Chains A and B, each alone.
Chain A
């Protein structure tokens, strides 16, 4: 039984928590692009330093970041191994009958896994320090211009916030139903893939049913309060850029200059 959901908001009052969510979202978005221009040891060092600095600022325990890396660890290891054995170039470090490890392979493996790690940690920093409500608000406003080309921005944001809101609920519900069927002797742990999938049917069906029921109840509750979409709707919580949010632009520009100068 685990209640921690990956990327769950960790309430706090650090400077990272207090940035405007739109500014944070934009920053992380642009940062992701920047990562792809990082191509040598000194630039990776700069980025690593920056990321660790941010983790420090967030006042969130390192262990939680490890938790969010865990699910992608397999992919990271897998691609690293691929690079180790496939990439040629530079001096030979190791020869075996099956494969040869070149210097360039080690470099590539280290860079690629660093890139993955940094992406995951930055994304976690964003979701750890921003409540899902703020995040969807930010997304809705940043995507606002897309409304001109008839993208249903408000509806999308609403869907996203509802989905985020119900993840823990759904999780709890799954645990409950799973326990109930386990108590009826369900065997979820042994047998081949097909057997295991069929063993999960008694869990999925009640889960679907209760999700539909929940969705219907929610829709009714919203209609009962005369909800009718985004048109002419005013916001209860207004987002407002402050001076420190403009600081993010400066920080980003500094990063761009630093990396542009150090990259090879």
Chain B
């Protein structure tokens, strides 16, 4: 399901003294199966955009088209909620059931899936997030923070969404935890062809995962393009208050010392290593 957002605006508490235009005229197009990153300073409207894309907020103006569904300010019941899975910031805080099984089953049972179907989905989801099945009968509140977050993620995956939205999924995790979660997202994306929308403050994540990136600034779309385009414009990056990804910093650092520069379109360590190997072989042959 392709996503097409046209001139989307949102105003909180319209008609009160606390009125706040949180989003103005944002447009984006996400083809099915792509990974879209959304970055921007705090308060720039990222969560608001997510609320709209997940159908929890109704646009003040503009439109959202997801697959065959179309939503404008006049739409009464938003039709695509069940197609879009949202993992909110610190999702472990929404766990509530007495067992991990029941918590993961909450989404699918709300969708009206049969008992047998629910069993299957829960088993699948817990495997997908890399947790042991023996945990299913345990209380979610006795787990570690990282495990709880995976349970919450499994709870969303069990609804089999075709679009998965993640709001800062690695916030508060240590390096190893973030690494695992990112690989998980990557493999989910590769295996199940889900469209992924990732809100993050980590440019390393953008570089590594994203096909497209949207930079938000004061509720407006300040940049929309590929990570390569974004990270090649240092001036604008500074303007947005964003950093370069670690790997791009490394490449720039190396490029200061060598004559023929390494392309800054390399975003993965494996790729960089392969590239350097290749270059070394070439110079040896000469």
Contact = CB atoms under 8 A, between A and B. Distances in A.
| Chain A partners chain B | yes
Contacts of B16: 4
A209 B85 CA distance: 24
Q: Is the interface of B mostly helix, strand, loop or mixed?
A: mixed
Nearest to A64: B17
A202 B96 contact: yes
Contacts of B249: none
Given A61-B17, A64-B17, A183 B91 contact: no
Contact of A179 (B82, B88, B155): B88
A56 interface: no
B94 A180 contact: yes
B146 interface: no
B93 A183 contact: no
Nearest to B95: A206
A42 interface: no
Contacts of A4: 13, 16, 18
Contacts of A206: 93-96
Interface in B65-120: 81-82, 84-86, 88, 91, 93-97, 106-107, 110-111
A18 interface: no
Given A183-B56, A184-B156, A185-B82, A177 B111 contact: no
Contact of A186 (B51, B91, B110): B110
B12 interface: yes
Given A183-B54, A183-B56, A210 B110 contact: no
Contacts of B18: 3-4
Contact of A185 (B51, B57, B107, B141): B107
A260 B95 CA distance: 61
B88 A183 contact: yes
A61 B85 CA distance: 42
Contacts of B185: none
Contact of B94 (A3, A64, A181): A181
Contact of B110 (A1, A3, A184, A201): A184
B197 interface: no
A185 B17 contact: no
B159 interface: yes
A206 B90 CA distance: 12
B159 A184 contact: yes
Interface of B: 12-13, 16-18, 51, 54, 56-57, 81-82, 84-86, 88, 91, 93-97, 106-107, 110-111, 141, 155-156, 159
Given A183-B84, A185-B82, A202-B96, 18 more contacts: A3-B13, A4-B16, A61-B17, A176-B93, A177-B94, A179-B56, A180-B91, A180-B93, A181-B94, A182-B56, A183-B81, A183-B85, A183-B86, A184-B107, A184-B155, A201-B96, A206-B93, A206-B96
